[in-house]
Amino acid sequence: MLAKNFKKSLLAVNIGLVMTAGFTGTVYAAEEAKVQEDVEVIEVRGIRRSLEAAVNTKRFANAVVDSISAEDIGKFPDKNIAESLQRVAGVSINRGFVGEGAEVSIRGVDPTLTQVQLNGQFVASTAWFSQGANKRSFNMDLLPSEMIAGLEVYKSPVASLDEGGVGGTVVMRTRKPLELDSLTVYASVEANTNSLSDDNGFGATVLGSWKNEDETFGIMAMGSQLEQIGRGRKSENYWEESWSASGIAGFDQDRERTALDLTMQFAPSDDLDFTLHYLRTELDAFNTNQNFLTIGANGDTMTNVSGRTAPNGLPLVGTVNDAGWLAQDTNTRNAVMTSNVIDLQASYQGDTYKLSGAIGKTWADGGNGGNANGLWGQPVNASTGITVDVNMDLANSMIMIPNGVDLRDPSWQAFQGHSLARTELEDEEVYAQVDLDLDVDWGAITQFEAGLKVRSHEFSNAAYGATIDASQLNFNNIGDLSDGYLSDFGEVVTGGTPTSYVKLDGKAYWNALNNATTAWDFQEGNWGSVKEDVFAMYAQGNFSGDSYRGNLGLRYVQTDTEGSAYNGNLTGKDVFEGNYSDWLPSFNAALDISEDMILRVSAAKVMTRAGYSQLTPGYRGLPQTVPESGRLQATRGNPAIEPFRANQMDIGLEWYYNESSLVSFAIFNKDIASFISTKTIIEDLTDVPVPGRYEVSVPDQGRGGKIEGAEFQFQTNFGNGFGMLFNYTYVDATGETDDGDKIRLPGSSRNAYNLTGYYENEMFTARAAYTSRDEFYAEGTALGNGNDFFSDQQFLDASVTWHATEHLDVSLEGVNLTNEITNQYFGGGLNTLRVVTDNGSRYAVKVAYRF
């Protein structure tokens, strides 16, 4: 083992040893800081020690790396991994349907271009929202934070790290039994709720770890089950779209996650190590979305109109009469998603080399589990006496006031129609790799690394439509299946708009449609499959001297893609092929200007493959009947689309003025050679459920773009138990479409910052974190999706832990304590307000025991 030729304090070495325990050449990009084996190891516990460990990782890394560590088992900084990541400089997150962190953006890059790995490998996962795009992004709802020992955010790549992160790479690390004390036991119980709900969720986690006296064999098992209460109250505006609608929407998703993590480790000698890891996680995400809509408004029959008019001719303000419907559109989904990982790693440490390898498989399935749709209401016209006053041109709210009916009265909300459709998603990857780390004496180069990796990946999506015997549906209006009232809309509507209406018993309705189903019909037009075979190899030289260190590497990757689908005429299955190769050089260097100050520079070429929806050649969203608007629309992908590619550079200065304090500043640049956007083309589809001329949304190869920015980070310990960290990121991100139009790239906020303060002593630990980001484009959480424009957002989270005894902790956590209301706007047209969302505040109490 080679010792680095730069100074380290004893504390920094000790922390580094604990935090990097278990890192292998197979699992991680590089052993960033190899240290002498006879240094005493200390235990890292508490917020201050955890932050010191993160500083240490950043300081001695050969690349641009930030990290987060669990202070102890079950003490990851946040309940949601994505929400922990937003505390890292340069990282922002998008929040999903219930307001929890869902996707991670690094340095202003679209979250779909962030690579997330578990122990250095891809993790298969799926989603449940059938109208959303199928992406490569890991679904972070699937993984309990208790299972994570720490994670690293690579902002600059190294050749030994898997390709795929134009924005960056997040590597999550689980524990190993030989790293823990023998007979380690951890158990916790918790309860959580949401300010928009009277319901509570409960959960429990148990971990047991054992190793023999010789510390040559160990086994660790961890199980977790958690119910989480998720709520969303929204007002939604589709006034600029073809179906001319607006609505008051309630989304309830009570999720139950069950996870099992099993690790066996065998180290018959100090030189040889085998680790077998199995993970299974299942998320039952049953949900019901209700939307009280004004549908199909007609500008010619509207009265009392004023203000602006949408491009489709519909006034934004006025009274709707003699056109369309006032009705509840309900959708209940029995979504269940599972992800599995089985991974075997082996490593042998020779006198001057280390040989390591890994083989494994990860697979997942999911989908909506059957979407039970219903329509309940009456036409808007003179015979029903129903009219609706609307104002879709407000800055941060909406007005939709029905006249002539009460939304809390179920009697007039007649059952008008139904449908039941099921999507099924499958994702699978098999991989094998071998790596060699060789100590050399080639001048400044002290270590040479090389490796090979092969991956075989397949993703598929299928859709089924139910044939329902309507005579078995024994209900006339929504009151026959009512479950009280949906309420708490006061934050998202105004001007006398109703804030409560009849609630559907979603499970009862879902069961009714399924019980009346006589057949499931496979929808060929909505089927698609993508297969990828990837071969990669790399060579990397690590160099060091008295006042410098770094690495220089080259990675080659060959990607062969095969997409299968039934074409628009459904005459048979078509197979489309694509292939491309990339040479990806990378360079990282850290120069010790002084004992406490480091100048860091890096440059690399990076790539990210297109998402599965962008590659799948099959059509999605083909209508089964003629839409009321008459417009026929669908989407499809292109297996031959080229990946995202970019050249990146950054330079930074870091000052470590004591073991727990850091001031750093960096500037970065990503020159995007190609990116993928979307365009609409016209295609004639004949042998489909609804033949005709279609507007088809297809992926389009953009000309390129540029992301430039800067980030600042400050972290310190004030003494007497107090400390803080602050980071700020500035990003300017623009792209150019194939038509030459300038666009703002998705995922990018011009300004973002995070401020965290903490206090801890032997009895109490307290932390408060405030996060802010400017407006940004992202995929919306409403029908139609596309890239919507989100306004600025600010969130305040806090937690308090009482160390009741040496082994017993009691914690209270609050998320979104200020109840931030988020707004998203149309990305085109009049840029009107599209969705206002109230996800409420979330609270959790937890009791944990560790021995």
Task: Give whole-number Cα distances, 704 to 155, 167, 647, in Å.
Answer: 20, 15, 11
Q: Is 198 exposed, middle or buried (0-12, 13-18, 19+ CB in 10 A)?
A: exposed
- Per residue in 23-35, pLDDT tens? 333 333 334 333 3
Whole-angstrom distance, CA of residue 433 vs CA of residue 383: 71
Residues 263, 333 contacting (CB under 8 angstroms): no
Specify the pairing of strand 168-173 against strand 150-154: antiparallel
Residue 100 has pLDDT above 70, yes or no: yes
- Per residue in 430-468, pLDDT tens? 999 999 999 999 999 999 999 999 999 999 989 899 999
- Per residue in 706-721, pLDDT tens? 899 999 999 999 989 9
Residues 71, 15 contacting (CB under 8 angstroms): no
The two three-digit tokens of residue 770, written as one number: 């405030």
Residue 502 has pLDDT above 80, yes or no: yes
- Per residue in 202-229, pLDDT tens? 999 999 999 999 999 999 999 999 999 9
Mean pLDDT of the chain: 87
- Per residue in 11-21, pLDDT tens? 333 434 333 33
CA 441 to chain centre: 43
Q: What is the pLDDT of residue 632?
A: 83
Residue 783 has pLDDT above 80, yes or no: no
- Per residue in 607-616, pLDDT tens? 998 888 888 8
Q: What is the pLDDT of residue 839?
A: 95
Residues 747, 710 contacting (CB under 8 angstroms): no
- Per residue in 222-256, pLDDT tens? 999 999 999 999 999 988 887 788 999 999 999 99
Q: What is the pLDDT of residue 81?
A: 87
Comparing 241 with 66, the larger pLDDT belongs to 66
Q: In 637-686, at which residue ranges do the beta strands (DSSP E only) sit?
A: 644-658, 661-685
Average the pLDDT over each of 6-20, 280-294, 405-419 and give the range with the smallest value: 6-20
Whole-angstrom distance, CA of residue 791 vs CA of residue 833: 10
CA 139 to chain centre: 5
Sequence-ordered list of residues with C-beta below 8 angstroms from that of 699, at least 6 positions apart, any chain: 610, 614, 637, 638, 641, 676, 677, 678
The two three-digit tokens of residue 456, written as one number: 């075989």
How many CB atoms within 10 Å of residue 626? 12
Whole-angstrom distance, CA of residue 320 vs CA of residue 305: 9
Whole-angstrom distance, CA of residue 703 vs CA of residue 694: 26
The residue written with tokens 């928009």 in the block is 196
Q: What is the pLDDT of residue 14?
A: 40
Sequence-ordered list of residues with C-beta below 8 angstroms from that of 140, at least 6 positions apart, any chain: 80, 81, 82, 101, 102, 103, 104, 116
Sequence-ordered list of residues with C-beta below 8 angstroms from that of 144, at least 6 positions apart, any chain: 205, 224, 226, 257, 259, 281
CA 187 to chain centre: 28
Helix (H), strand (E) at residue 419 = strand 415-442
Angle in degrees, CA 344, 119, 67, rounded to 5? 160
Q: Which domains does the chain possess?
A: 10-850 (2.40.170.20)
If pLDDT is split at 50, 70 and 90, which confidence band does 809 have? very high
Task: Give whole-number Cα distances, 432 to 119, 123, 271, 345, 539, in Å.
Answer: 14, 14, 22, 10, 17
Q: What is the pLDDT of residue 26?
A: 37
Whole-angstrom distance, CA of residue 385 vs CA of residue 139: 47
pTM for the full predicted model: 0.88
